[in-house]
Amino acid sequence: MALAVLECVLGLTGAVAGAVFAGGALERGAPPALALLAPGLRERAGGLQQGLEAAARAAWQTGAPVWELPATGDERAAGVATWTAIPLRAAAAVLGAFTVAFGPGRTAAPEQRESLLLAAEACAGALPRAFAYQRACEERDAAVRAAEAQERALAMVGHDLRTPLSAVVIAAGLLERLGPVSPGQARAAARIEASARKMNGLIRDLLDFSRIRGTGGMTVYPEPVRLDVLCTRAAAELRQAVPGSELRLDLEPVEGRWDPLRLEQVVSNLASNALQHGLAGAPVSIRLRRDGAQALLEVHNRGEPVPASLLPVLFEPFRKGPHRRRTSFGLGLFIVREIARAHGGEVAVASDAERGTTFRVRLPGARPAVG
């Protein structure tokens, strides 16, 4: 808007240069927010900056128009004879100034001064919107830079921690197998191994989050998969990791082309979430069936329902349930959603006090398993 007004003023008045200065720029001695120069003056723009600014500052400081400010010797040599500057007002505030330059033998005629005042009024109306847009852009850019730095830091920390944690898992497993060990030593080794595996899972989630943010989505590597066999394997590993957990399986033989490692992560994340947030001691059900050409995986738990206010954002990163037991970063459900989407599928949740909570994952390309 302000640029269009400036172009119009130069065309109507015969001015050879013009600029719009914000008050903050005048305080700092910064360049104008907008500037236009006639073709013959562009190569001498640097020499005109001081005159543009001096006229604008005079109008900004006094709050009154400066109609004819004589140019200096160098400015006259550059093709400018006089400067005209008008303050930009919004209510009682002076936001900046509007400056134009006239060549030899020209000045703002009385009938043109009214046009210049109207042009300054139009610029003043556009300036707050321009400032707001500029601030929004700066805040957005700062937020993007901060997020990128955070993601790089997460990836670095995850990579650095993964190797020593893998060594802890291996060492704990060896302690149990080297024997003979007392029951207390065996329990301690099992706790070390379980804790290290849990930390490895947290690191995996952080690395996945960093990759998703960096690439715009989850990368999957499909291959033939028996989804019912995969669910059985994931449940067995979870029973070992969470002693005393009860997982009930109702699995129809289903196969398709999916990424087995990622789908095992889906089953593990959903079942772990159900064990963590479900009713203590109550079983968690994992059900698999074919619904037309889709595989439908359901994980159900009884217990306190998910609050209605949390349902719309439950699959966003770093979201956690209302329960006090918080042993994750709140990335598990986000990663489940991204894995489902990467396969062309989807995930949804239904939760109420009477029926409990059920997560449903739909995956395309399902067919009955043979053999």
Q: Is the overall model pTM greater than 0.85, yes or no?
A: no
| 369, 255 contact by CB (below 8 A) | yes
Are 90 and 127 spatial neighbours (Cβ–Cβ below 8 Å)? yes
Q: Are residues 92 and 114 located together in one domain of the fold?
A: yes
CATH number of the CATH domain containing 191: 1.10.287.130
The total of structural domains in the chain comes to 3
pLDDT band at 140 (very low <50, low <70, confident <90, very high): confident
Query: DSSP letters along 310-323, please?
Result: TGGGTTSTT---SS
Q: Identify the weakest region by mean pLDDT among 2-6, 76-80, 342-346, 347-351.
A: 2-6
More confident residue, 29 or 296: 296
- Greater model confidence, 58 or 360: 360
| Residue showing tokens 């998969």 | 225
| Bigger pLDDT: 29 vs 143 | 143
Name the token pair of 275. 């064990």
Q: How confident is the model at residue 236 (pLDDT cuts 50, 70, 90)?
A: very high
Predicted local distance difference test score (pLDDT) of residue 296: 97
Mean predicted confidence (pLDDT) in 253-266: 96
pLDDT of residue 36: 47
Q: How much is the mean pLDDT over the chain?
A: 80
Which ranges of the chain does DSSP label H, i.e. alpha helix? 2-13, 23-28, 45-62, 73-77, 110-178, 183-215, 227-241, 260-277, 332-342
Same domain, yes or no: 154 and 252: no
Express as a percent the part of the chain with pLDDT over 90.
Answer: 29
pLDDT band at 349 (very low <50, low <70, confident <90, very high): very high
Q: What is the pLDDT of residue 44?
A: 47
More confident residue, 138 or 331: 331
Residues 6+ apart with CB under 8 A from 242: 272, 275
The structure tokens 């109550």 sit at 282
Taking the C-alpha atoms of residue 328 and residue 320, their distance in angstroms, rounded to an integer, is: 8
Same domain, 181 and 231: no
One domain for residues 30 and 111: yes
The pLDDT score that the predictor gives to residue 40 is 44
- Same domain flag for 95 and 184: no
- Are 165 and 199 within 8 A, CB to CB? yes
- Report residue 262's pLDDT band, with 50, 70 and 90 as the boundaries: very high
Looking at the structure, do residues 153 and 286 belong to the same domain, yes or no? no
Q: Which residues are within 8 A (CB) of 123 and not within 5 positions of it... i.e. 6 or more apart?
A: 1, 2, 5, 6, 20, 88, 98
Where a domain ends, among 215, 236, 251? 215
Which region among 40-54, 81-95, 118-132, 202-216 has the lowest average model confidence (pLDDT)?
A: 40-54
Domain shared by 152 and 94, yes or no: no
User: Last residue of some domain: 81, 116, 139?
Assistant: 139
| Shared domain check, 245 and 349 | yes
The mean per-residue pLDDT over the stretch 139-151 comes to: 78
Instruction: Judge if 174 and 270 occupy the same domain.
Output: no
Neighbours of 76 (CB within 10 A): 15
- Do residues 260 and 201 both lie within one domain? no
Q: Which CATH number fits the domain that encloses residue 113?
A: 3.30.450.40
- The pLDDT, as a whole number, for residue 254 is 96
pLDDT of res. 10: 67
Least-confidence region, from 111-120, 226-235, 320-329: 320-329
pLDDT at 162: 67
Confidence band of 345 (pLDDT split at 50, 70, 90): very high
Q: Where a domain ends, among 199, 215, 231?
A: 215
Instruction: Give the Cα separation of 324 and 87 in Å (integer).
Output: 59
Range of the domain at 53: 2-139
Q: Are residues 41 and 100 in the same domain?
A: yes
Degrees, nearest 5: CA angle 298-303-309: 85
Kindly state the average pLDDT of the residues 294-307.
94
